[in-house]
C-alpha cells in the first residue's frame, strides 16, 4: 500500500538489532495497529469515553516516530547491533511529545490562538522531528520539497507577484502547520490512520495465510503453459499480488525473484525481464478492489465513497494489464521465446487447495459495493474472514494461530511508518497552500501558462508529476499534485474524478521513468541488468500507461461516467486500439512487420483509442471505427500472407 520502507530490508550478514530496541519496536508497532483497529470499531464510545480524531493521530505519529528513530540511522540504513543512544533519545522525544499532545489536546487546542510558549515550542520541535524521520524513510527528495514549501510560507510576502502570499510570522507558521486540522493532523494522516493501515493489516493477514503463494500458483496454472508463459505469470501474478500489497517496490521484491529468472531462462533478455516485472508491479496500485494508499486519499479529497473510486479505476486497470499481456505475448512470438518445461500446477488442484481465499475477497466486494459500508469496516471484516478461514485451512504453510494475529499487528505497524511520515509531511504542504493562498495562485498560473489549452495543461501537469515523483512515494506525489494541479484541471473543465485519476497515474509513472525509477531499479537488482536500460525498457513496455490518463480525461466514459452504451463502445474501441498499437510497437502480428506497416498500425491504433467526443466528423465513432477498419484490413492481409508463406517457400 505504501512504498517499501528503507528500514525493512537489512543487508546480508547484518547484526541483529539490540534486544531492547527490537522488543520496543514490536510493542510500539502492535500498539499502533491495534489503536487504529480499536478506533475504527468505535471502541471509545463503547467504553463511554470521547476522543478527538487528532488524539488518535498524535498517538499514531508518536509511535511511528519512535519506531523510525529506533530502527533507522541518520544514513537511512537499519541500525545493526549497537544501541544508538542519540536516536533512541530522539524517538522518545517524538513519542513523549505526541503522547502529551494526545492527553492534553483539548487544552492545547484552546491555547493555539494565543501562541503560548508551550504551543510554539511543541510545534518548533515536532516539525523537524517529522522531517528528519521522513528523510530517513524516503530519502531527500520529498523532504526537500516540503522544506521548500515551509520556507515559502515564512517569506511568502516577499515572493514574486504571481506567487506572493500572506505575511506570517515564524510562530504563526509553525503553530498552524503543527496544530491546525489542515496541517500535520489533517486529512492525509487521518485517512492513513483510519483506512490505509487497516487495509495493510488485511493484506498482511492474507500473505501470512498463504494468499501470495495461491495467486502466484493460480497464475502459473492458468498461463504457464502458454506462449511467453513466464512473462504472463508475471503480469497476472503481479496484478493479483498488487491487489494485496498496493506497492510497486514490495511487489517487485515479492514476485520478481520467482518470475524474472523464469523469464530469462526461457529467452527474454535480462533488460526486458526486469522491465516487465516493474511494469506489472506498478499496476498493482491501480487494481480494484484494494488499490494503493493514494486511492483512499482521493476519496477523501473528492468526498465520495471509496467504492466509486475503485469502480472508476476498473476499466483503466483492465486496459493497462491487457496492453502489458499482449505486449509480452507478441514479444514472445517475435523472439521465439521457449515454452516452460517445468511441471506446472493444474488449475483445479490450485483452486481445490486455495478456494477459501475467494471468501475474504467476496466479503470485501460485498461490503464495499453492496452493503455500502465504510472502507475501514470492509477491511476489518475481510481481515476477520481471512483469519477465520486461515485458522481452518492453510495453503502451503501451517494454519493461522493466535500468535500469527499478534505478529501481523506488529508487522503492519512496522511497515506503515514511512506511510505515516509521508502523510504527515503532505499535511505540511496542504497547510502552507491553505494558509498562504499559494494553491489558488498556482492554479491561476498553470492555467495562464497553458494558454487556455486543455491539452497543453495536461502535458504540463504530466511533466510536473514525473519531475516531482522522482524518488517519492506515490501517496506523497499524489497529494502534492492533487492540491497543486488538480484545481487547475478542474477549472479547465476536466471532471473532478478524471483530474485526480490523471495525476494519480502520472504520479505512479515515476516508478518507471528515469532518472529515478524505483520499481525498475528494484527489478534490475534481480535481473542483473543495468538500472537505466531497465527503466527505459519499462517505459517502452508500459507505453499504455502514458496514454491512458489522456484517454479517460478526454473520455470520462472509461471511468464509468456516462451512459452504458457509450461506456461499452469507448471501452471496446480503446481495447482494440491498444492491441493494434501494440502490434505496431512490437513489430509483430503473425510474422515480423515492415516499418511502414508498423507506423500505420500505431497511427490507426491511436485513432481507435482517441475519444470521438473530441472530433465529430460524420457520425459518432467515425474516427475510432475507421482506425479499427483500416488496421483490421491490414492485419487480415498479414494473417493470410503469413499462412501462404510456407507453401511459397
In 470-527, at which residue ranges do the beta strands (DSSP E only) sit?
none
The answer on pLDDT for 244 being more than 70 is no
Task: Render the burial of 393-431: b for 16+ CB within 10 Å, e for the rest.
Answer: ebbeeeebeeebbebbbbbbbbbbbbbbbbbbbbbbbbb
Dist. CA 549–CA 507, nearest whole Å = 11
Average pLDDT estimate for 175-189: 90
Contact by Cβ (8 Å): 247, 295: no
Q: Which three cell numbers stand for residue 175?
A: 503553530
Q: Which residues have CB under 8 Å from 523's CB, separation 6+?
A: 252, 256, 260, 273, 274, 275, 277, 278, 281, 534, 538
Which pLDDT value is given to residue 165?
81
| Per-residue pLDDT at 572 | 92
Identify the pLDDT of residue 498: 93
DSSP-assigned letter for residue 42: T
The pLDDT, as a whole number, for residue 466 is 81
pLDDT at res. 619: 60
Asked if pLDDT for residue 267 goes beyond 80, the answer is: yes
Cell numbers describing residue 502: 490523471
State the cell numbers at 260.
Answer: 524474472
pLDDT band at 56 (very low <50, low <70, confident <90, very high): very high
Q: Are 611 and 623 in contact (CB under 8 A)?
A: no
Question: How far apart are alpha carbons 463 and 621 in whole angstroms?
Answer: 30
Residue 14: the pLDDT is 58
Rounded-to-integer distance, Cα 381 and Cα 360, Å:
8
Q: What is the pLDDT of residue 401?
A: 93
pLDDT-derived band at 648 (thresholds 50, 70, 90) equals very low
Report the SS3 class of residue 566.
helix
Our separate counts of H helices and E strands in the chain read 32, 0
Half-sphere exposure of residue 464, counting CA atoms within 13 Å on the CB side?
A: 21
Q: Which positions ≥6 away from 570 have C-beta within 8 Å?
A: 555, 557, 558, 611
pLDDT confidence band for 454 (50 / 70 / 90): confident
| More confident of the two residues 179 and 258 | 179
Q: Which long-range CB contacts under 8 A does 79-83 form with residues at least 24 apart? A: 79/17, 79/18, 79/21, 80/10, 80/14, 80/15, 80/16, 80/17, 81/15, 81/16, 81/17, 81/18, 82/15, 82/18, 83/18, 83/20, 83/21
- Separation CA 278–CA 260 (nearest Å): 10
Which tens digits make up the pLDDT trace of 164-174? 888 889 999 99
d(CA 183, CA 117): 19
Give the model's confidence band at 618: pLDDT under 50 very low, under 70 low, under 90 confident, else very high: low
Dihedral, CA of residue 50, residue 55, residue 56 and residue 60, to nearest 10: -160
Q: Is the CB of residue 419 less than 8 Å from the CB of residue 196?
A: yes
Residue 501 has pLDDT above 80, yes or no: yes
SS3 (DSSP) at 588: strand
Other CB atoms within 10 A of residue 169 CB? 10
Q: What is the DSSP string of 190-227?
A: HHIIIIIHHHHHHHHHHHHTTHHHHHHHHHHHHHTTST
**Residue 61 contacts residue 130 (beta carbons within 8 Å):** yes
Percent of the chain with pLDDT over 90: 36
Angle in degrees, CA 610, 613, 618, rounded to 5: 95
Between 577 and 480, where is the model more confident? 577
- Chain segment 621-643, per-residue pLDDT in tens: 788 888 899 999 999 998 888 88
d(CA 420, CA 565): 43
CA separation for the pair 310, 303 (Å, rounded): 14
Q: What's the rounded Cα separation, in Å, for the pair 370 and 139? A: 41
Cα angle 252, 587, 463; round to 5: 55
- Say if residues 512 and 502 touch (Cβ distance below 8 Å): no
Give the number of other CB atoms < 10 A from CB of residue 308. Answer: 18
Start-to-end CA span in the chain (Å): 55
Mean pLDDT of 209-236: 87
- DSSP-derived 3-state class of residue 418: helix
Average predicted confidence (pLDDT) for the chain: 86
What per-residue confidence (pLDDT) applies to 614? 53
> What cell was used for 110?
484552546
Q: What is the pLDDT of residues 414-448, one digit of tens each?
A: 988 888 998 898 899 888 988 888 877 877 788 88
Between the CA of residue 121 and those of 67, 97, 374, what are the distances in Å? 23, 10, 38
Which residues 6+ apart lie within 8 Å of 437 measured at CB?
Answer: 165, 166
pLDDT tens-place string over residues 290-330: 787 788 888 888 888 888 998 999 999 999 999 999 999 99
476 — pLDDT class (breaks 50, 70, 90)? confident
Residues whose CB is less than 8 angstroms from the CB of residue 5 and which lie 6 or more positions away in sequence, other chains included = 137, 414, 415, 417, 418
Q: What is the pLDDT of residue 613?
A: 55
Q: Are 212 and 241 in contact (CB under 8 A)?
A: yes
- 475 pLDDT exceeds 80? no
Q: What is the tens place of the pLDDT at every residue in 116-146?
A: 999 999 999 999 999 999 999 888 888 888 9
pLDDT band with cut points at 50, 70 and 90 for residue 382: very high
User: Is residue 335 very low, low, confident or very high in pLDDT (cuts 50, 70, 90)?
Assistant: confident
Least confident of 94-103, 133-142, 606-615: 606-615
549 SS3 class: helix
Q: What is the distance between the alpha carbons of residues 369 and 351, in angstroms, rounded to a whole number?
A: 25
Question: How many Å apart are CA 350 and CA 535, to the nearest integer?
Answer: 34
pLDDT for 5 beyond 50: no
The answer to whether 230 and 256 have CB atoms below 8 angstroms apart is no
Gyration radius (Cα) of the chain, Å: 25
| Spatial separation of the C-alpha atoms in residues 236 and 220, rounded to whole Å | 9
The 3 state secondary structure assigned to 50-82 is CCCHHHHHHHHHHHHHHHHHHHECCCCCECCCC
- Measured between alpha carbons, how far is 368 from 378 in angstroms, rounded to an integer? 6
Contacts with 356 (C-beta within 8 Å, 6 or more apart), sequence order: 389, 390, 392, 393
Domain coordinates in residue numbering, the chain: 6-182, 562-649
Amino acid at each position: 500500500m505504501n512504498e517499501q520502507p528503507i528500514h525493512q530490508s537489512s543487508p546480508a550478514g547484518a547484526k541483529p538489532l539490540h534486544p531492547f530496541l527490537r522488543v520496543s519496536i514490536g510493542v510500539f508497532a502492535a500498539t499502533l495497529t491495534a489503536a487504529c483497529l480499536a478506533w475504527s470499531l468505535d471502541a471509545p464510545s463503547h467504553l463511554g469515553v470521547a476522543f478527538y480524531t487528532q488524539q488518535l493521530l498524535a498517538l499514531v505519529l508518536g509511535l511511528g516516530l519512535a519506531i523510525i528513530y529506533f530502527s533507522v540511522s541518520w544514513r537511512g540504513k537499519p541500525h545493526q547491533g549497537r544501541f544508538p543512544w542519540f536516536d533512541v533519545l530522539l524517538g522518545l522525544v517524538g513519542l513523549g511529545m505526541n503522547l502529551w499532545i494526545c492527553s492534553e489536546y483539548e487544552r492545547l487546542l484552546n491555547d493555539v490562538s494565543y501562541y503560548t510558549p508551550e504551543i510554539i515550542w511543541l510545534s518548533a520541535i515536532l516539525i523537524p522531528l517529522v522531517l528528519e524521520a521522513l528523510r530517513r524513510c524516503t530519502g531527500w527528495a520529498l523532504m526537500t520539497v516540503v522544506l521548500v514549501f515551509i520556507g515559502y510560507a515564512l517569506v511568502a510576502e516577499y515572493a514574486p507577484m504571481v506567487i506572493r502570499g500572506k505575511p506570517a510570522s515564524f510562530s504563526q507558521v509553525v503553530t498552524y502547520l503543527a496544530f491546525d486540522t489542515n496541517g500535520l493532523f489533517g486529512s492525509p494522516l487521518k485517512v492513513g490512520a483510519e483506512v490505509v493501515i487497516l487495509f495493510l493489516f488485511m493484506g498482511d493477514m492474507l500473505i501470512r495465510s498463504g494468499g501470495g503463494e495461491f495467486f502466484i500458483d493460480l497464475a502459473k496454472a492458468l498461463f504457464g503453459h502458454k506462449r511467453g508463459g513466464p512473462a504472463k505469470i508475471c503480469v497476472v501474478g503481479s496484478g493479483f499480488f498488487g491487489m494485496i500489497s498496493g506497492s510497486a517496490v514490495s511487489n517487485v521484491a515479492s514476485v520478481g525473484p520467482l518470475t524474472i529468472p523464469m523469464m530469462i531462462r526461457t529467452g527474454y533478455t535480462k533488460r526486458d525481464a526486469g522491465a516487465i516485472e516493474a511494469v506489472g508491479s506498478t499496476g498493482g496500485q491501480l487494481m480494484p478492489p484494494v488499490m494503493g494508499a493514494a486511492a483512499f486519499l482521493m476519496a477523501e479529497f473528492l468526498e465520495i465513497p471509496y467504492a466509486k473510486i475503485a469502480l472508476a479505476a476498473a476499466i483503466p486497470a483492465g486496459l493497462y494489464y491487457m496492453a502489458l499481456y499482449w505486449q509480452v505475448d507478441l514479444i514472445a512470438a517475435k523472439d521465439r521465446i521457449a515454452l516452460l518445461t517445468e511441471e506446472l500446477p493444474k488449475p483445479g488442484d490450485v483452486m481445490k487447495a486455495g478456494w477459501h481465499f475467494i471468501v475474504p475477497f467476496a466479503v470485501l466486494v460485498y461490503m464495499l459495493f453492496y452493503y455500502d459500508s465504510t472502507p475501514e469496516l470492509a477491511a476489518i471484516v475481510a481481515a476477520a474472514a481471512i483469519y477465520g478461514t486461515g485458522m481452518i485451512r492453510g495453503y502451503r504453510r501451517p494454519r493461522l494461530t493466535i500468535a500469527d494475529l499478534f505478529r501481523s499487528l506488529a508487522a503492519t505497524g512496522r511497515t506503515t511508518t514511512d506511510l505515516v511520515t509521508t502523510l504527515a509531511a503532505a499535511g505540511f504542504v496542504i497547510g502552507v497552500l491553505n494558509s498562504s493562498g499559494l494553491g489558488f495562485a498556482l492554479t491561476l498560473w498553470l492555467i495562464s501558462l497553458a494558454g487556455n489549452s486543455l491539452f497543453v495543461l495536461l502535458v504540463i501537469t504530466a511533466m510536473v508529476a514525473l519531475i516531482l515523483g522522482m524518488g517519492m512515494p506515490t501517496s506523497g506525489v499524489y497529494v502534492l499534485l492533487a492540491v497543486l494541479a488538480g484545481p487547475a484541471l478542474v477549472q479547465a473543465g476536466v471532471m473532478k474524478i478524471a483530474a485526480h485519476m490523471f495525476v494519480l497515474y502520472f504520479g505512479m509513472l515515476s516508478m518507471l521513468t528515469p532518472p529515478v525509477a524505483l520499481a525498475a531499479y528494484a527489478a534490475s537488482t534481480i535481473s542483473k541488468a543495468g538500472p537505466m536500460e531497465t527503466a527505459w525498457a519499462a517505459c517502452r513496455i508500459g507505453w499504455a500507461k502514458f496514454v491512458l490518463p489522456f484517454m479517460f480525461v478526454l473520455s470520462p466514459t472509461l471511468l464509468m461516467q456516462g451512459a452504458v452504451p457509450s461506456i461499452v463502445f469507448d471501452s471496446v474501441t480503446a481495447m482494440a486500439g491498444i492491441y493494434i498499437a501494440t502490434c505496431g510497437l512490437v513489430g509483430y502480428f503473425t510474422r515480423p512487420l515492415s516499418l511502414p506497416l508498423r507506423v500505420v498500425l500505431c497511427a490507426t491504433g491511436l485513432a481507435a483509442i482517441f475519444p470521438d467526443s473530441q472530433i465529430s466528423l460524420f457520425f459518432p465513432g467515425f474516427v475510432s471505427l475507421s482506425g479499427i477498419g483500416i488496421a483490421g484490413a491490414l492485419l487480415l492481409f498479414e494473417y493470410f500472407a503469413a499462412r501462404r508463406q510456407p507453401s511459397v517457400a
